[in-house]
Structures are given as C-alpha cells and as structure tokens.
Structure 1
Amino acid sequence: MKNKTKTIKFAFKMSLPVLFGYLFLGSAFGISLYEIGYNWIWAIVISLLVYAGSGQLLLVSMIASHASLASIAVMTFFVNSRHIFYGLSFIEKFRSYGWRYPSLIFSLTDETYGVNTSFNTTPKDVDEGDARFLIGIFDHMYWIVGSIIGNLAGQLIKIDFTGIDFSMTALFVVIFLDQILASKSKLPGFLGIICALVCLFIFGPDKFLLPSLIITVALLLGMKPLLDDKKEVM
C-alpha cells in the first residue's frame, strides 16, 4: 500500500538540492527581467509557461535587443535542444505513469533530470510515479518563487548581482557528482566528461554542447549490451 504522506515527503527531500539553486538562479532571471522593465507579474507568467532556465535568461537579452519572435524561437530551441536527449531516456517510464506524463515531460529541466536519474527505485511505501511527478512540481514552484523574489529584490535592493547566474552551473555539477558517486557503473559519467572535453576543444565553448550530447548518447546506445551485462553481474 502506497502512502501519500511518505510520497510527498520523499519527493520534497529529493528536490531540496534544487530548491536552493533555483531560488538563486530564478532570482537572477527575475532581476534581469526587472532591469529591462518587466515587473513580477511577467516573471510569474514567463516562468510558468516557458520554464527554460538558461533559455529564460537568453529570452531577457533578446527582448532587450528587440529580437524578432522567430529569432527568439530558433535560439531557444538550440539552447534547450539538450532536453530532447533527457526526454528520450525517460519517455517509456514517464508514459507508464498515465496522466502525469505531460507534466513530467514539461518539467524535465537539467536539475530535475539529475534528481530523477539519482534513484532507480523508491521505498516500498512510496509511489514512484507520484514522487517523480511531485519532484517536477516542487522544482517548478521553486523556480517561480525565485523569479518573483529576484524581480522584487531588483526593485528594492540596489546592489551588484553579477555572477548570481553561476548558481545553476554549480548546482548541476553537484548533482552530477552525487549521481556518479551513487551509480554502480562510473562509465557513463566519465564517458560524458571525455566527450564534452573533446567537443569543447573541437567546436569551442559556444557550440560544443549539442555535438557532445549526440556523441555521448550514440556511444552509450552502442555500449548498452555491455553496460547491461555489468549490471547483471553486480
């Protein structure tokens, strides 16, 4: 028998690392949005409907430069195209959760993906589908609250907020390291690092992300039988 209270507590506990990161990073977005003349209501609307992290920070700069809607759409697609690969690795599992499926896909940000991959099973009295669904909801709420706080802080506190956007990078690194330490096989993590470094050297810092993801996914798919065999042995 699944316990709803324990499921909520489990989801909240798993989402806590994202809470602190999203309050800071959401604040960075809220501050940036205020600086180009948009109040906290716009911060809520954009965070609720777009919810794209770095894509929202890009959106602010493109709005400020009076970019066309088509340009914004294309740039947002390229910046967030990595989420295609996140979705592919969870699509079958999420489909099995029924009505939660659309929300699970929409809420699959970098950090939420990291949390979802940090556990393969849940305690026996916790509903896994509800837990993953709630993790996505909690994370989205943290981002919206952070964007509101940042927008209001931009109005009330006149200080230099330079560097606050680095909190997303720091958060993702922590989740990634925690995932590697908890995983039985370290190969996928180290393979991803090597592919990223090689592509960074070849394509440069502005264009390395998408090719490194493509190569990593292709290699992992090719090595899937080997990885599955190692899991069975362990």
Structure 2
Amino acid sequence: MSAFAVSGFRRGLLDSSAIALGYIPVAISFGLTAYHQGLSPFVAVLISLLVYAGASQFVLLSMLATGANMASLLAVVVVMNLRHLFYGPSILTHFGTAPRHLSVFILGAGLTDEVFASASGKMANVPAEQREWWYCGLQLGAYASWVGGTAVGAYLAQDLLADSQVLTKTLGFVLPALFFALLLEIRHAVAPGVMYTAAVVALLSVWLMPAYLGIIVAMLAGGAYALRRQ
C-alpha cells in the first residue's frame, strides 16, 4: 500500500469516529442483552462479527428467545437488510473511474446505514485516488467499534452495567442524534424532495407494516421520486 493510500485509509479511520460514538453504546447494550438471554460472550461477539447489522441482531435475539426456527431467522434478517442492495451501487458511483484494488465483496462487507450516509456526504471531498482506501478505513473503524462494543458488553460489563440506568438513558438519545447528524451530512448530496418523500412514506408505512419493510418501501418511493425528477 502506497503512502498515498495509507493517508486515505487513516483519514477514513478518523472520519469513522463519529459513527463509533453512536455504535459503541448500542453494541454494549447488544452484548449485555445477548448475555442475559443465555448466549455465551463468545457467541454474542461472533454474531456481531458475522451478522454486523444492529437492528437485525436485536430482532435475532428476540426470535431466538421465542424459539423461532432457523429458516425464519434467516428470512427476517435478509428482508431487513435488503436496503443494502440500493446502497451498494450508489456508493460505487462515488469511486469514479479510478482503478479499484479491492473486490466489491470486500467493499460491501462493512456497508451499513451510517457508513453509507457518512460516505455519501464526505467522499466528494476525498481525492479520487484515495477514495477506496478512505472508504475501507471508514468501514473498518465502524466495524471495529461495533464488535469491540459487543465484546465489552458481553465480557466486561455483565455485573457493572447490567442494573445501571446509564445505558438506558444513553440509548434514548444516542441513536436519534447519530442519525440526525448523518442526515445533516447528506443533505447537500441528496435532493430535498427525495428525503421528504422517503421520510413521509416511512412514517406512513410503520402504521401498515413492520418497520423493516417500511424502510424498503420508503427507499423505493424516494428512488421513484428521484427518477421522476430527472
């Protein structure tokens, strides 16, 4: 890796700190929840390593607690994360014509809502030759904070934080604050009409269907609006 690439990677790691601030308390909460539902700390961390999808992981725990079968677990997790099929192609357009050094499978492995929003808002300010490595650093920093937070919750915080109100109060504003900050980052990259359309459809959809389906419907509505305006 050239010095130029290393510089981009480090910059990506630094930019991932905003995501990490939101991920760590939620990941600690996941580790605690998994442990108190009877999973070993190793299994809790393994789930974060392999699944790496916050909402899906909490739903997975709930379904495990109710004795759901493996087919149901897999189906729900897949449906909840179908939105990433829209994220991937959008992110690839930001890399431009610069030659890629990594497989799209590697580039897509760490793609989350927060990584997508941060990359969409900041990648235009990164030199084209550094973007791939910057994006890798952004992904790795976010991924490490999620897995690390899970390990803290599962291994170290079982007795110290299990009965504490700290996490409960923190989670009450951390995630909304995180998503609001990410929304501010992408507001210049996405047409206001697209965001308003997606937001309204999402709010209406949660009354009629599960939240994970509402997200997909809202994304389709926003995309349809964008295509109509072209």
TM-score after normalising by structure 2: 0.83
CA distance in 2, matches of 1:179, 1:91: 16
Q: Tell me whether 1:189 sits opposite 2:195 in the alignment.
A: yes
Q: 1:28 to 1:11 in 2, by over 3 A?
A: same
Look up the match of 1:158. 162
- Spell out structure 1 runs of 4+ moving beyond 6 A: none
CA distance in 2, matches of 1:143, 1:14: 15
CA distance in 1, matches of 2:72, 2:51: 16
More deviation, 75-84/150-159 = 150-159
Aligned residues: 222
CA distance in 1, matches of 2:100, 2:193: 29
CA distance in 2, matches of 1:52, 1:195: 23
Q: 1:157 to 1:165 in 2, by over 3 A?
A: closer
Q: Tell me whether 1:174 sits opposite 2:149 in the alignment.
A: no
Write out per-residue CA displacement over residues 134-191 of structure 1, whole angstroms, 9 at most, x where no aligned residue. 11111111100010111131244331444655533431222112321x4484333233
- Asked if the contact 1:122–1:128 (Cα under 8 Å) also holds between the matched residues in 2, the reply is no
SS of aligned partner of 1:175: helix
Write out per-residue CA displacement over residues 98-131 of structure 1, whole angstroms, 9 at most, x where no aligned residue. 4242122121111111111112424449611110
Cα deviation for residue 46 of structure 1 reads 1.0
CA distance in 2, matches of 1:47, 1:94: 28
CA distance in 1, matches of 2:137, 2:103: 10
1:12-51 equivalence runs, <5 A: 12-51=13-52
Which of 209, 220, 225 aligns to 1:219? It is: 225
Q: 1:39 to 1:92 in 2, by over 3 A?
A: same
More deviation, 79-88/151-160 = 151-160
Q: Tell me whether 1:134 sits opposite 2:137 in the alignment.
A: yes
Q: 1:84 to 1:169 in 2, by over 3 A?
A: farther
Q: Tell me whether 1:76 sits opposite 2:82 in the alignment.
A: no
Look up the match of 1:208. 214
CA distance in 2, matches of 1:138, 1:5: 14
Cα deviation for residue 216 of structure 1 reads 1.2
Q: 1:2 to 1:222 in 2, by over 3 A?
A: farther
CA distance in 2, matches of 1:186, 1:65: 41
Q: Structure 1: where are the runs of 5+ without partners?
A: 226-234
CA distance in 2, matches of 1:54, 1:73: 14
CA distance in 2, matches of 1:125, 1:71: 42
